[in-house]
Structure 1
Amino acid sequence: MSDQKRLKVTEVEDVAVVEFKDRKILDDVQIQEIGQEFNDLVEVDKKRSILLNFSHVEFLSSSALGKLISLDKQVKQQDGHLKMSNIRPEIMEVFAITRLNKLFDIKDDVPDALAAFRG
């Protein structure tokens, strides 16, 4: 698995479960690094089933949303599946306002999301 500075990746069955190490995802350098790690997950590590666990994330900038959209497109181009879980209500509100809650497959928690990969 490639080197991860901003993300913690664990394998559960054939799903890459990704946790963010940062509580606030705000600055451009940080967001670029996350984008590169997302890219490495798909292009280098060849992950096709990815679960983003937002349990540690308290704040997400609009630039970070762009990286999530890019990751979603990248995964779908590889016939993969991206799911998200544990999104705080204040971040979920941003997803709803931007209608990203319609684009992304969002589950309440990690067990729900893992079950959705199997089902």
Structure 2
Amino acid sequence: MTQSDNVKLGEFRHIDVYEVDDVTVVHFKESRITDDLGIQELGQELFSLVDQGNRTKLLLNFANVQFLSSGALGKLRALENRVSKRGGVVKLCSINPNIYEVFKITRFDTIFQIFKTEADALASF
């Protein structure tokens, strides 16, 4: 599925958001998610999708991301908690091998379903 097939939702500073059927797909704009202010803003944008948009099927596409700090991992965990409390699910895809290693070390690979491609992930919902 190409991005042109999707409906883009709103304007965000740190993410591009698309609606694919009933799944909200998030693409990160930055390749490095490391500074505290940016992570706080990113968290607010992601949380608003759940809190204001009432979205419960999220797919986070990490294709653009080369580096992720521990603070960003904390935001992902908090997002997962918010979504699961609403009976929803957060899935991840297109993760750089170096970031995937961090996910394994921190056991995030046991918290999130992780897929190689966006298409594979979308098919799993």
Residue 18 of structure 1 aligns to a residue whose secondary structure is strand
Measured in 2, the distance between the counterparts of 1:19 and 1:3 equals 12
Corresponding residue for residue 56 of structure 1: 64
Partner of 2:55, secondary structure, is coil
5 Å matches for 1:23-102? Answer: 23-102=31-110
Decide whether the 8 Å contact of 1:2 with 1:41 is kept in 2.
no
Question: Contact 1:6 / 1:22 at 8 angstroms: preserved in 2?
Answer: yes
With the length of structure 2 as denominator, give the TM-score of the two structures. 0.91
Deviations along 1:68-97, whole A, 9 cap, x unmatched? 000000000011111000001000000011
What is the percentage of aligned positions where both structures have the same residue? 46
Within a 5 Å distance, the mapping from 1:9-20 to structure 2 comes to 9-20=17-28
Query: Unpaired segments of 5 or more residues in structure 1?
Result: none
4+ long deviations beyond 3 Å? none
> Does 2:116 match 1:116?
no
